[in-house]
Amino acid sequence: MNKRLAISLFALLSVSFAFANEPDSLSSAELGAQLTRLQNTLRTNERGAETWWITWTALYTAATVGQGAVAVATNDLSTRQDMILGAGTTVLGVASQLLTPVSTKFTYLGSDSIAKLSVADKQRLLTEGEAMLKKQADIALAGKSWQTHTLFGVGNLASGLITWIGFKRSFGEGVFNFALNMVITETQIWTQPIRAKKAYQQYLQSNERGFELNRSTTPEWYGQVSPASCSIGLRF
């Protein structure tokens, strides 16, 4: 009986010693510094994404106005057909940009405000910030995925077929339409900022997180539009 009691006491002391020697949690100051760094990363990513978004929205808007004006002014049937097709799809492009912004919403705090927060509030904001950083990375990944390239390609192919078969143009004109729009859409894809993905991976490594960057498993409908084509897809 005494032997069993001794073993039990030894086990209890071992567990207590192990817990007592666990590394301490981050201090309030360390949490504040980490939150500040995370906020700076989020801001930088958001500014880059918003610049890209505003640029392409402006280009679609200008293309819509310009092509619409030419369609009204010209007497040439072929030109009018091209301009109407282009203006119609760029209107959808503007709508798509407005409905699918790439920026994320996060409440940024100044250094003084962060310093006044409790440890619990700092930890909560840090967790929310990490979720936002992952969301930014997911958006960056999805924007350059093979599904996006494929859907753009299909939309551009449809535009070329409309030019060739629908408008009864030459095969070469249809190919030119397809190729021109592929250049435009690939430029749009490859200019989308990818920094958020790298920043997220670096954040995980620097903070020794035990999880990896993965795309969201929640299906999401989205639209992609080029100056002469449009497409709708399901991202999963």
Q: What are the extents of the domains in the chain?
A: 28-235
Sign of CA dihedral 31, 34, 40, 45: negative
DSSP 8-state symbol, 100: S
Whether the Cβ atoms of residue 125 and residue 109 lie closer than 8 Å to each other: yes
DSSP structure string for 34-91: HHHHHHHHHHHHHHHHHHHHHHHHHHHHHHHHHHHHHHHH---HHHHHHHHHHHHHHH
Q: What percent of the chain has pLDDT over 70?
A: 75
Would you state the structure tokens that stand for residue 185, as one six-digit string?
């859409």
Say which residues have a Cβ less than 8 Å from residue 192's Cβ, sequence separation at least 6.
49, 52, 102, 140, 143, 144
Q: What is the pLDDT along the chain (236 residues), one digit of tens a residue?
A: 455 545 454 444 444 444 434 334 567 788 888 888 888 888 888 888 889 999 989 998 999 999 999 999 999 998 998 998 888 777 777 777 787 777 777 777 777 778 778 888 888 888 888 888 888 888 888 888 888 888 778 888 888 898 899 989 999 998 998 898 888 888 888 888 888 888 888 888 776 543 344 434 344 444 544 444 444 444 44
How do residues 23-72 score in pLDDT, each as one tens digit? 345 677 888 888 888 888 888 888 888 899 999 899 989 999 999 999 99
Q: Which amino acid is at 75?
A: N
Q: What is the pTM of this model?
A: 0.68
pLDDT for 172 equals 92
